[in-house]
Structure 1
């Protein structure tokens, strides 16, 4: 069986201060999540219970790991092991692909939206 999705279809930049989180695909091992952020939106420091991979599809964010900041731009990817504290601040409109374990919950991602 094959599942398909688009990172670019049905994008909504919310007018409030909250990023938009959408599950695009679910496989036997992962959930592929799209996070759409407007400039100034943030996700407060949090940890994931399983390893994650973040891909910057478009835009630019200030990504903090244990308080150390680095800029992630279009095309950049970063992998984090479980339980690594991290936070995001959006510097320009961004589309982020987040790969999480199928055992992880998207509700957890929504809880860390500032």
Structure 2
């Protein structure tokens, strides 16, 4: 059964595999999922300053870099309003919303099994200590 799930991988080129792995790594980094979640919860576009307030612990530089990456990956839209001072808003794209839904499923699976992971680690530690 597990093999069937990954049948699509057989047709991937090395380049596609590398690109997919890079996207997974970027999405799973510390800040991208938090930013996507904040944008999803907001339900409306947010300005940079509102994101700074809601993404606790992130620096301005890292928020800027992460937003640029999310935009280049097509997960968010950046809208610049030509006014003085300039106003910029960020919102999820349908692709970003889809990613968040899929990741939430994996995240829930992991969280629900943290006890299993901890027990396995403790058992292995006990076995090596004995």
TM-score higher than 0.5: no
Larger radius of gyration: 2
Return the TM-score normalized by structure 2.
0.26
Structure with larger RCO (C-alpha < 8 A, sep 6+): 1
Where is the helix percentage greater, Structure 1 or Structure 2? Answer: 2
